[in-house]
Amino acid sequence: MVPNKSISENYKVNRKSNAVMENFRYINQDYLNDISVGNPAFIEVLLMTFQDEARRFISQLNSQLTHNEYKLIQKAAHAMKPTGAYIGVNALTILVGNLEKAAQSENHEQSFSIFTQIKGMIGAILKEIEEYLATK
């Protein structure tokens, strides 16, 4: 429930939020509802945490790829792997795992290609999160 709102207002907010989530391509609404036991405040925290982590990850990788810092790329990718799973985006977890392997082999072309895919996916996920948060 959203604090300071009546039960009927909360119901309207939750319906609107759920309707927005139904159109998501990446974020798994069923997974979020299961782990949050339908608590929209918990879902909001998960999504906002993902936003922060994803933005930090993209920023780090931009710099690290520019400087061919493969050990740091590998470490950042390893730390980011579970973050996608927290919101039910297993495809992101797989891509980040692939980046970790590419960095381990110090393959710049492959690392950059995978990073480009990750960046696009994270951009789309962040748009989904912003749409969801706009209903709050």
Name residues of the chain where pLDDT drops below 70.
1-21
Strand ranges inside the chain, DSSP E: none
For residue 123, what are the domain limits?
A: 28-133
Q: Residues 125, 27: contact at Cβ < 8 Å?
A: yes
Residues 6+ positions from 58 with CB-CB distance below 8 Å? 118, 119, 122
pTM: 0.83
Q: Is residue 37 part of a domain?
A: yes
The Cα–Cα gap between 133 and 103 comes to 34
Residue 8 maps to a domain? no
72 in a structural domain: yes
The pLDDT score that the predictor gives to residue 72 is 97
Q: Indicate if the alpha-carbon torsion angle 49, 54, 60, 63 is positive or negative.
A: negative
Q: Does a structural domain hold residue 19? A: no
CATH code for position 117: 1.20.120.160
| The predicted structure's pLDDT at residue 136 | 77
- Does residue 4 sit within a domain? no
* Residue 39 within any structural domain of the chain: yes
Instruction: Burial-class residue 110 by CB neighbours within 10 Å (0-12, 13-18, 19+).
Output: middle
